[in-house]
Structure 1
Amino acid sequence: MKIMVCGPIAGKGVDEIKLFQKVLIENGFQVVNQLKARMNYSYIDDFRNKKQLAKRIVVNDLKFIEKSDVIVAICNEPSFGTAIEIYYAKKLGKKVIVLNEEAQPSPWPIAFADQIVKSKDELIKTLLKLRF
C-alpha cells in the first residue's frame, strides 16, 4: 500500500509532512515522497511571478497522488493545495484519511474523508486495518 502525506507546505508544514512520512516508514508503510522530487517550495513566499514553477509543482503532486493508494491529509490548518489534493484523490477513487489533531471548523475535508483520525496512533491503527 502506497501512502502519500499531504498538508500545508508553507511555514512549518513541510516539517510536519516529513515527520508523518518518517512515522509511517518506521511503522513499515511505503511512503510516496513528493518532496524528494525537488518540490519542496516552502521557502517561496509569493508565486505570482512564478507561474511555470507553480504548474510544475501542481503536475508533480497530481502524479504522486495517481501513484498512491491512500492519501493522508494533514488538515490542522487551511491549505488550498491540500484541499485540491483531497478532491483529486477522491475523484481517482483513492482512500483519503484526514488527520486533524485540533478542531476542524470546515466541513469540506470531513465530507471528503473516508476516515478521520485525531492522532498519530489513531492514524497507524487505521492504516493497519486498511493494509492490502
Structure 2
Amino acid sequence: MVKQVFISGPILGMENNQSYRQTIKDICTPLGLEVIDPWNREKVLYKGTEECWWNTYTTFDFVERDLADADRCDIMVVYLPVLSAGACMEMFYAKRRGKHVIVVTELPCVSPWIVVHTDKILKTFNELGETLKQFL
C-alpha cells in the first residue's frame, strides 16, 4: 500500500509564497509517496486581499476537510518558517491520531507543544528525504 504524506504549513500571510509545497512534493515523489496537499483545494479561497475572508465562509467544513486529509495520511510534514495556528492544530491532531509528524523549521526556540507532537524536527529540507525513509 502506498503511504500518504500530508503537507502542512502556513498560508495566511504567505498566500503568494507556497513554493515550499513543491519542494516537499519533489522529495516525496521519488520515494513513492502520495502527497495530500490541501493548498490544491484551498488556494482559490486565499487571495491575500480580503481580510478575515473566513467570516463569510463555512469554516467548519473548511477545517473538517483538512482534518479528513490528516486522517488519511500516514506522515505529516509541517513547514514552520513562522508559527501558524492552522499548521499547529493539524500537527496536534495528526499526532494524537497516531500519525508520524516531521517538522521543518529554522525557528530558534521551538515550543514544547511542537516538540511533544513531533517525531522529528529538521532545520532544512536537506534531511527530509532520509527522515521520511525511516517511516516507510
TM-score (normalised: structure 1) = 0.84
Q: CA separation in 1, counterparts of 2:25 and 2:31?
A: 10
| Map 1:73-88 → 2, pairs under 5 A | 73-88=78-93
Find out whether 1:39 has 2:45 as its counterpart: no
More moved, 24-33 vs 72-81: 24-33
1:101 aligns to 2:106 (yes or no) = yes
Listed as ranges, the gaps of 5+ residues in structure 2 are none
Structure 2 Cα separation of the partners of residues 97 and 126 of structure 1: 8
Tell me, yes or no, if the aligned pair for 1:24 and 1:30 is still in contact at 8 Å.
yes
Paired residue total = 129
Shift of 1:48: 5.3
Q: Secondary structure at the match of 1:71?
A: strand
Q: Structure 2 counterpart of 1:50, which letter? A: T
Alignment match of 1:8 (pick from 7, 10, 31): 10
Unaligned runs of 5+ in 1: none
Amino acid corresponding to residue 7 of structure 1 in structure 2? G
Post-superposition offset of 1:27: 4.3
Structure 2 residue 25 is matched with structure 1 residue 21: yes
Alignment deviations for residues 78-110 of structure 1 (CA, whole Å, 9 cap, x no partner): 111011001110111111111113423422212
8 Å CA contact 1:2–1:31 kept in 2: the answer is yes
Q: Secondary structure of 1:130's partner?
A: coil
